[in-house]
Chains A and B, each alone.
Chain A
């Protein structure tokens, strides 16, 4: 039943355009945007995470909160480009268990980053040492989840089993 829904999506004009159009703005363009969005989203998280873990100790922690803006810009780039890629290949993605692993890891990574924000960056009374001590566990998990999410995403191209379009 799901498969027929996926195939109905694949038959739509948008889905076909994403997959088959000769326009330089179809599939490979969306994939490029998805790669840049990944760099912004995960890059900003890595910058915050590494500082919380004690690297670049002269870098003041509190202003790093600004990089959360880049996390959200990156996140919405990923949602938009990701949904377009999904429209192009619904069967290929949604029949692959690894796809759900990837989404779960992204959810966990974002949750870790948000908890870091709420527990560490939102509390102006904390000293830098206290911020690092309190934030450490969230930073470690966020980095682990991001590496996992990127790996799962990359491996999607090698692990799909059903391709109907």
Chain B
């Protein structure tokens, strides 16, 4: 077992997930089933969360493979990385919009079941189709790295492949070398995203923990899209940091912990704050005490977000003092 296993463990999920999600989404709308619609939206969001560590474990897998006996086709690795980055970004946008769609089902001011807005449906549909296409390219090129038997001559030398191989280097150049201000501006956005997460997701969970009980939960729940927006901003800026300096993060155990915490905290947000299974919590009125389970989940969510902030702040220190990686 080494860190390259993580990539193998994760990498089939986002690809298959993008297709399963799209299939569920289409069936849900053909059958006009609200339950299935919500299931497919939650599914997209969870797959989007899993896609994050999948991408971030790729650089380590590549480093480990470089040391193995067979030589890796470098162009193919670069094309795979470019396709993976595009897949990741589109998967995150799909996931963010799907989560807003899921949240729309619980809007209290609309008669139940509140219909999901048409713009959301259209956007999730378009983005998930694009994502599934990107995922196909990612899986194809990724598989070919270790399975030359599936590689045909024109695949390797195609114009698309050549373009794909330039994606990661050019994004990396933009983030780190195009101007000395890109990185600080991205960091500022990352902090503003953090504030939105703390305000909307933290505020809701503070109420579900039993603080500020004068406030009804439902209207706090209405502010959730601001937290979701903060989360998407931070995931996108975070991806750009990683692409800019992959080996500042790739081997760092605190970074691995931070990513695991993000998947957990994000999953908590999706399952407990957005799905219909726990919607009774969002109906708590002014002065009403949340149930013990809600308090436990809210406390866990708040702890996870605090841990994420602290781990993020400690990343530079561990990179310096642990001297992790080759």
Contacts and interface: CB of A to CB of B under 8 A. Distances in A.
A22 B181 CA distance: 31
Interface of A is mostly: helix
B184 A155 contact: yes
A42 B195 contact: yes
The B contact surface, by secondary structure, is: helix
Interface string B286-326: 10000000000000000000100110111011000100000
A160 interface: no
B7 interface: no
A43 B310 contact: no
Interface in B193-216: 194-200, 202-203, 212, 214-216
B150 interface: no
A43 B202 CA distance: 8
Given A59-B219, A60-B216, A67-B212, A28 B198 contact: no
B214 A63 contact: yes
A107 interface: no
A147 B180 CA distance: 21
B218 interface: yes
Interface string B6-22: 00000000000000000
A56 B212 CA distance: 17
A9 interface: no
A147 B306 CA distance: 21
Q: How extensive is the interface on chain B, given as a class?
A: 35 or more
A109 to B, nearest CB: 12
Given A58-B108, A60-B286, A151 B195 contact: no
Contact of A158 (B184, B192, B199): B184
Interface string A33-52: 00110111011101100110
A122 B76 CA distance: 65
A31 B313 contact: yes
Contacts of A31: 313
B198 A40 contact: yes
Contacts of A157: 184
A38 B212 contact: no
A32 B313 contact: yes
A22 B314 CA distance: 13
Contacts of A63: 212, 214-215, 286
B316 A46 contact: no
B61 interface: no
Q: Which 6 A-B pairs have the closest CB atoms?
A: A59-B219, A39-B198, A63-B214, A43-B198, A43-B199, A32-B313
Interface of A: 22, 24, 27-28, 31-32, 35-36, 38-40, 42-44, 46-47, 50-51, 55-60, 63-64, 66-67, 146-147, 150-151, 154-155, 157-158
Given A22-B321, A28-B313, A43-B195, 13 more contacts: A28-B314, A35-B310, A36-B306, A38-B194, A47-B223, A50-B226, A56-B220, A58-B108, A58-B109, A59-B222, A66-B215, A67-B203, A155-B188
